[in-house]
Amino acid sequence: MTDTTTSTGTLDTLRAGFTGSVLTSADDDYATARAPWNGAIAARPAVIARCATPDDVGAALAHARREGLEIGVRGGAHSYGGAPLPEGGLTVDLSLLRHVVVDPAARRARCGGGVTQGELDAATQQHGLAVTGGTISHTGVGGLTLGGGMGWLTRRCGLAVDNLRSAQVVLADGRCVRAAPDSHPDLFWALTGGGGNFGVVTEFEFALHPVGPIVHFGLLFWEIDRGAAALRVARDVADALPRDCGALIAGFNAPPAPFVPEARHHTLGIALLIAGLSDAQPQAAPLAEARAALHPLFEVGTDMPYTALQQILDDAAPWGIHAYGKALYLDELSDAAIDVIAGRLPAKVSPMSLMPIFPLGGAFADVAEDDTAFGGRRSARYAVNIDAATPDPRLLPADREWVRSTWDALRPHAGDSGSYVNFMTEFEPDRVAAAYGPVKFARLAAIKASYDPDNVFHRNANIPPA
């Protein structure tokens, strides 16, 4: 980093006409603007450009390129690997772009690049509508969508990218374009899963679906001594779920939450979580089937607002947590894979480390492989996330190794199905390529060469220009 990158003169040039704010370590707001979701990230950018308009984004990019600064892009900041925070570089911060506009008649929503999932849910639920989002409400919509976007609505409505209708994008050269099937269709396709490789998305337009406002939730929990048997029951139930159910299978320690019996707080085990998304309460029969097959240690059943469902796992990923994760897809949750999961769970050290397993299928599988750039086969039945999480940084090295060794043990059961790029901490080039497969990766690389030939946007699951 040269002296000119943070000199008063060059920053004054950037600030001239800038609608938002430009921060350096000398500013009072810098620490708050820099604070990462993952507390393990220590990087400090030289400049944080809090952009309020697409023109601000273009100005920030131009400044960084003039000064030779590496560029990171921050939406909701939910990055395992710290991609938004280039050491000594420039962060394009979209947190001021928080508008959400809902058209209930057309069932469409437009939201800024800095909007969180909770903010989008709150706005759309005023009209009984929703679009697939994550399972943590303070996740940024932008990063989640650009990598695919799976959550409670995946089986009913598909991924977030399956519902993307257009995007406003600031390109590496500063141009602002609209990407949609009828405008820059190649760029639009690349945005439907190709990550942050192609530009800074300042606004998303989504199709919405009738959901809520009340959903029906059930959770069954079995202790780890019956972990393998519980996983087999959960798998059999998940494989047969109706589309009106969202589900999650998780290996974790029961939290000290009001809905958990006090005697079971911190117990390690397997949980099956099912949300019924229609008035017919479709979760009741699958939960009864699982209960009859293997009586749970405890269970929870309640109706709740859809917005509460979207927040129910927030405490598992609090701001400032020290985290590391890896993931892979399984075409089936085989008995052999189940034995690995059940056998490896007790090896974790932190009570907050966990293994969430996302059942796919349904609307997810309706989309043809080439219709989106999503990195993962639509035939996959499960996405498995192995997640180290701890407020105590001393525990992270041990659980980072637990993540890696568990991932290695599951690899033989995953074939060539790749990994979900949103759950990557380290963007190993071979794993990124494997996520997309050779044909899709080559197509994305060609589009990258058109829109970002200098690979300006590379702090991500990078797809180098062809």
- For residues 182 and 328, membership in a common domain is answered with no
In a domain, 349, yes or no: yes
For the beta sheet containing 176-179, the strands, ordered from the edge strand earlier in sequence to the opposite edge, are 100-103, 108-112, 200-207, 164-170, 176-179
**Residue 334 backbone phi and psi in degrees, to 5:** -70, 165
In a domain, 373, yes or no: yes
In a domain, 396, yes or no: yes
- For residues 329 and 188, membership in a common domain is answered with no
**pLDDT of amino acid 7:** 62
Q: CATH code at 159?
A: 3.30.465.10
- For residues 256 and 298, membership in a common domain is answered with yes
**pLDDT of amino acid 10:** 85
Structure tokens at 404: 């890696």
- For residues 377 and 236, membership in a common domain is answered with yes
- For residues 242 and 365, membership in a common domain is answered with yes
**pLDDT tens track of the chain, all 466 residues?**
333 345 667 899 999 989 999 999 999 999 999 999 999 999 999 999 999 999 999 999 999 999 999 999 999 989 999 999 999 999 999 999 999 999 999 999 999 999 999 999 999 999 999 999 999 999 999 999 999 999 999 999 999 999 999 999 999 999 999 999 999 999 999 999 999 999 999 999 999 999 999 999 999 999 999 999 999 999 999 999 999 999 999 999 999 988 889 999 999 999 999 999 999 999 999 999 999 999 999 999 999 999 999 999 999 999 999 999 999 999 999 999 999 999 999 999 999 999 999 999 999 999 999 999 999 899 999 999 999 999 999 999 999 999 999 999 999 999 776 789 999 999 989 889 999 999 999 999 999 999 999 999 999 999 999 9
Residue at a domain's end among 52, 70, 93: 93
Q: CATH code at 65?
A: 3.30.43.10
In a domain, 431, yes or no: no
Query: Helix (H, G, I), strand (E, B), or coil: what is residue 177?
Result: strand
Residue at a domain's end among 37, 65, 93: 93
Count of domains for the chain? 3
In this structure, the chain runs to a length of 466
- For residues 294 and 232, membership in a common domain is answered with yes
Distances (CA, A) of 44 to 48, 70, 121, 264, 456: 9, 12, 32, 41, 19
In a domain, 434, yes or no: no
- For residues 319 and 378, membership in a common domain is answered with yes
**pLDDT of amino acid 161:** 98
Identify the domain containing residue 228 by its residue range.
Answer: 214-423
Q: For residue 380, give the DSSP letter.
A: -
In a domain, 191, yes or no: yes
- For residues 324 and 406, membership in a common domain is answered with yes
- For residues 155 and 288, membership in a common domain is answered with no
Tell me the C-alpha distance between 101 and 103, whole Å.
7
**Parallel, antiparallel, or unpaired for β 268-276 and 214-223?**
antiparallel
Q: Which helix (H) or strand (E) holds 392?
A: none
- For residues 163 and 309, membership in a common domain is answered with no
Helices in 68-131 by DSSP H: which ranges?
Answer: 117-125
In a domain, 343, yes or no: yes
- For residues 296 and 396, membership in a common domain is answered with yes
Distances (CA, A) of 154 to 111, 148, 343: 20, 10, 28
- For residues 277 and 312, membership in a common domain is answered with yes
Handedness of CA 170, 175, 181, 187 (dihedral sign): negative
